[in-house]
Structure 1
Amino acid sequence: MGLLEPHGRHRQGDGGADLVSGRVAGIARHARPRAPMEVIDHATVTFAGGIQGDYRGAMKGKPYKRQVTLIEASDWATAQDLVGHNIAWQERRANLLAEGIDLPQRPGARLRVGTALLEVTRETDPCERMEALAEGLRAALTPDWRGGVCTMVVEEGEVAVGDTIRIEA
Structure 2
Amino acid sequence: MARIAGIARHDRPFGPVEVLDSAQLIEGQGVAGDFRGTLKAGSDGRRGVVLLEAADWTEATAECGAELPWWERRANLLVEGLDLPQQPGAKLGIGTGVLVEITQECAPCERMEALHPGLRQALTPDWRAGARARVLRGGSVAVGDEIRIELQ
Shorter-chain TM-score tier: over 0.9
Give the whole-Å Cα distance in 2 for the aligned partners of 1:130 and 1:59. 25
CA distance in 2, matches of 1:89, 1:129: 14
1:141 alignment partner in structure 2: 123
Q: Which has the larger radius of gyration?
A: 1
Match of 2:85 in 1: 104
- Please name the residue that 1:90 is paired with: 71
- The residue identity in structure 2 corresponding to 1:66 is R
Instruction: Structure 2: state its 5+ residue gaps.
Output: none
* Structure 2 counterparts to residues 29-40 of structure 1, below 5 A: 29-40=9-20
**Partner residue, 1:23:** 3
Q: In structure 1, what is the Cα distance between the partners aligned to 2:64 and 2:46?
A: 30
Residue 48 of structure 1 contacts residue 58 of structure 1 at CA under 8 Å; is this kept in 2?
no
1:62–1:55 Cα change, 3 Å? closer
Count of aligned positions: 149
Aligned match of 1:47: 27
In structure 2, the partner of 1:132 is 114
1:119 to partner: Cα distance? 0.1
Normalised by the length of structure 2, the TM-score is 0.94
Q: CA deviation at 1:55?
A: 0.6
Higher relative contact order (CA 8 A, sep 6+): 2
CA positional deviation for 1:63: 1.6
Q: Percent identity?
A: 56
Instruction: Measure, in 2, the Cα distance between the counterparts of 1:77 and 1:31.
Output: 25
C-alpha deviation, 1:127, in angstroms: 0.5
Is contact 1:49–1:57 with CA below 8 Å preserved after alignment? yes
Residue 132 of structure 2: which of 141, 144, 150 is its match?
150
Q: What residue ranges of structure 1 are gaps of 5+ in the alignment?
A: 1-20
Using the alignment, how far apart are the partners of 1:52 and 1:116 within structure 2?
14
- Measure the CA separation in 2 of the matches of 1:33 and 1:59: 15
The answer to whether 1:77 aligns with 2:58 is yes
The answer for the alignment partner of 1:166 in structure 2 is 148
- Name whichever of 61-70 and 101-110 sits farther off: 61-70
Distance 1:40 1:158 in 2: 12
Runs of 4+ in structure 1 off by over 6 angstroms are none
Equivalents in 2 of 1:123, 1:110: separation in Å? 14
Q: What TM-score comes out, normalization by structure 1 length?
A: 0.85
